[in-house]
């Protein structure tokens, strides 16, 4: 038996003063945003299998879409919802496409000039909003997950 008190359940009749889980609502919001990132990029590439030339850009789209869906599933799974790593990857699912957006519209990417200077494309702007909100929600998730880890170490 552990000498550490079990904080997952409050004594009968008393409300718990601290929850040890990242709230499912926060995880669900982040999961929906991850799926939104995947859907936006799927639409932008023209569906499945899609065509985004050059090939390395298309591969980047596929990697982003697949990883965003996997992260969405991991965020909803009780065993991984409290993982700082999962929340950090969710943050990256928002950050990486924003960097790609800025590079593709600004200086351009090798062999890819389709979007250069196209800062006001409606789907691109929607994507930026979804990705930025995902980053903010993910930062909250990382903070909550760190608190879970710190509390469980007590």
Among the residues of 47-83, which ranges form H helices?
55-76
Q: How far apart are the first and last CA of the chain?
A: 15
Instruction: Domain ranges for the chain, please list them.
Output: 24-152
pLDDT of residue 20: 58
Can you tell me the distance from the alpha carbon of 113 to that of 65, in angstroms, rounded to the nearest whole number? Answer: 22
Token pair for 139: 């930062």
In tens digits, what is the pLDDT along the chain, a chain of 154 residues? 444 444 444 334 333 334 458 999 999 999 999 999 999 999 998 888 777 777 888 889 999 999 999 999 999 999 999 999 999 999 999 999 999 999 999 988 888 888 899 999 999 999 999 999 999 999 999 999 988 777 776 6
């Amino acid at each position: 038996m552990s000498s550490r008190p079990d904080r997952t359940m409050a004594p009968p009749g008393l409300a718990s003063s601290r929850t040890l889980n990242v709230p499912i609502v926060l995880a669900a919001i982040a999961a929906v945003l991850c799926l939104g990132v995947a859907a936006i990029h799927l639409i932008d590439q023209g569906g499945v299998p899609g065509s985004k030339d050059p090939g390395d850009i298309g591969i980047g789209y596929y990697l982003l879409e697949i990883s965003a869906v996997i992260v969405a599933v991991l965020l909803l799974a009780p065993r991984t919802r409290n993982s700082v790593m999962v929340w950090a990857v969710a943050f990256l699912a928002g950050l990486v496409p924003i960097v790609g957006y800025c590079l593709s519209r600004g200086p351009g990417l090798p062999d890819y000039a389709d979007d250069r200077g196209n800062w006001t494309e409606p789907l691109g702007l929607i994507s930026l909003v979804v990705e930025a909100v995902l980053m903010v929600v993910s930062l909250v998730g990382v903070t909550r997950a760190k608190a879970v880890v710190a509390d469980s170490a007590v």
